[in-house]
Amino acid sequence: MKIRLSIIEDDEPTRRILGDLIRSTAGIELVSLFVDAESALDALQRDQPDVVLTDINLPQLSGVECVRRLRPLLPRTQFLMLTVYEDADHIFAALAAGATGYLLKSTSRADLLTAIQQIVGGGSPMSSGIARKVVQSFAKPDSSRSELEALSPREQSVLSLLAQGLLYKEIADSLAISVPTVNTYIRRIYEKLHVRSRSQAIATFLRN
């Protein structure tokens, strides 16, 4: 059976190149193309693709937020990020939101097609530099378990929501607190975990 694939990409030349590549590839069917996350949210529930290939930097709603919203609605769909971002913050935000793979846009066409096959087969394809950063974050000697235990129940709740990819306002709404209060909790979390960024805090959370 053909792999059914949808693409979310706002850049027209990139969208056209990706669309032409998929259309010309045996074994993969291009189901739909979207220029932004908003138009994809409702349509993808109808399309039910096997794979969604999405950029992160979309016009309004980000690709990471799009994946976070679609993941519970499309449990059998695999989300593959294709982006220029290779920093830890974007990597961990995407993985925490539910992305199964993470590739840079410099990836060759052959490697992209291989990654699509791999992700359907149960793999988690990543560009080599991305995979190295993920491995390094988990390989660091770590006393994070005791540090996590030092967090208050509310701080643990905030960190859990942060690891799920929620924005500060969404965390505030979920816990019925103000955004400044969320900022205060996150500052305390960083201090207790001895981290300086969202990605480091998420990595600590995921290691435990």
Q: Quick one: average pLDDT of 110-127?
A: 92
**Cβ atoms < 10 Å from Cβ of 110:** 8
* Structural domains in the chain plus CATH codes: 3-137 (3.40.50.2300), 144-206 (1.10.10.10)
The Cα–Cα gap between 18 and 167 comes to 30
Would you state the pLDDT for residue 132? Answer: 73
Residue 48 tokens, joined:
């039910």
Residue 103's H or E segment, with its range, is: strand 101-104
Q: Quick one: average pLDDT of 129-134?
A: 76
- Residue 139 binned pLDDT confidence (cut-offs 50, 70, 90): low
Residue 128's H or E segment, with its range, is: helix 128-139
Residue 117 tokens, joined:
């096959």
When the pLDDT of each residue in the chain is averaged and rounded to a whole number, the result is 88
Q: Please say if the pLDDT value at position 140 is more than 70.
A: no
- In the sheet that 28-34 helps form, which strands lie side by side, from edge to edge? 28-34, 3-8, 51-54, 78-83, 101-104
Nearest partner of 72 among 33, 98, 95, 37, judged by Cα: 98
Residue 15 tokens, joined:
């969208």
Q: Quick one: average pLDDT of 72-97?
A: 89
Distance of CA 73 to the CA centre of its chain: 15
Would you state the pLDDT for residue 145? Answer: 57
The Cα–Cα gap between 145 and 204 comes to 8
Q: Which stretch of 50-54, 120-124, 125-129, 202-206 has the lowest confidence by average pLDDT?
A: 202-206
